[in-house]
Structure 1
């Protein structure tokens, strides 16, 4: 449980990866993983840094989005909001119940695009170009999902998402370089 000096944050995109979240939130401590109900993962908008569409959550009855649960000290909230583009009205913060892998529920901060796409009416192979993440961004999400220990069927689903083939900002990509 987060104290008044900290908050719980649910990450489903690039902040699944510890190296990425620690860039703006050095106090972040992974507390486990969980899912939000009645949302599906989608991609929309264009992020110049990533050269593709960033992740968002879309209300969608019967679906789940899995992610990492981080506890972050409140002193990092401004940096996290800035990273998510709240000041530029790219993402908006929500507070949603997250069902933990242990069977409990935590209220967590989560970010959703302000201009969210309509519910998907296509199958993954048919994902239109404007709703495709870059290869770099998708790689960071997949690495983070594995690092977090998300269920294999969910990481398998993530690996089927079509990317646009672009790599991200070279300076940013170096910071997150694969160290396998």
Structure 2
């Protein structure tokens, strides 16, 4: 893991987007972009129960020789570990935290990440996929990987998602803070 005060977390789904992750994990800082070899990105629901938050499948990874998943390594305070586990529904058994080795241009890093248990495959909502793609773009994941994300079929859900409104507010606040700093 790192030292006793921080840990590294490899995000590959909605937590690619800084504003999403920082809603409940304010210590998260981008460490680098990395690649997880021999895994593939999948979407589904724990035991087939659709996500109330996202109204569709959510991201997970599964072992798959020759495939790769790109993501962001975040450095986070140990004080956010319980919150992150809660966001990933670890106590409900939806995801299991695992430690995996990811590759950067210069090195290999051991990171915490999460794998869904009892996954029943299901397409994501357009809104969830949009958040994943926004995070991929925000962090400069490889263009061909971003293109691959764009081709993922969604469930075409068009109803309201309170999470999207919350993210928009967070993005607006971040933009206002950035503008305020540049005016100073």
Structures share fold, TM-score greater than 0.5: yes
Within the candidate set 78, 82, 87, 2:82 is matched to 78
Distance 1:67 1:174, change over 3 A: same
Within the candidate set 143, 155, 169, 1:152 is matched to 143
State the partner residue of 1:104: 107
Task: Name which one, 1 or 2, has greater alpha-carbon Rg.
Answer: 2
**Structure 2: which 5+ residue stretches go unaligned?**
176-184
Distance 1:167 1:96, change over 3 A: farther
Q: In the aligned structure 2, how far is the partner of 1:79 from the partner of 1:109? A: 14
Residue deviations 1:92-145 (CA, integer Å, cap 9, x gap): 100000101x2300000010001135xxxxxxxxxxxx5200011000000000
State the partner residue of 2:60: 56
Aligned with 2:52: secondary structure?
Answer: coil
TM-score norm. by structure 1 comes to: 0.88
State the partner residue of 1:113: 116
State the partner residue of 1:122: none
Distance 1:4 1:146, change over 3 A: same
Contact 2:53 2:161 in 1 (8 A): no
CA-based RMSD of the aligned residues comes to 1.7
Query: Runs of 4 or more off by more than 2 Å in structure 1?
Result: 167-171, 177-180
Aligned residues: 167
Equivalent residues in 2 for 1:121-136, closer than 5 Å: 131-136=122-127
Within the candidate set 70, 87, 90, 2:94 is matched to 90
Q: In the aligned structure 2, how far is the partner of 1:138 from the partner of 1:68? A: 16
Aligned with 1:61: secondary structure?
Answer: strand
Q: In the aligned structure 1, how far is the partner of 2:79 from the partner of 2:110? A: 19
TM-score norm. by structure 2 comes to: 0.86
Residue deviations 1:58-104 (CA, integer Å, cap 9, x gap): 1100110000000000000000000000011111100000101x230
Aligned with 2:4: secondary structure?
Answer: coil
**Structure 1: which 5+ residue stretches go unaligned?**
118-129
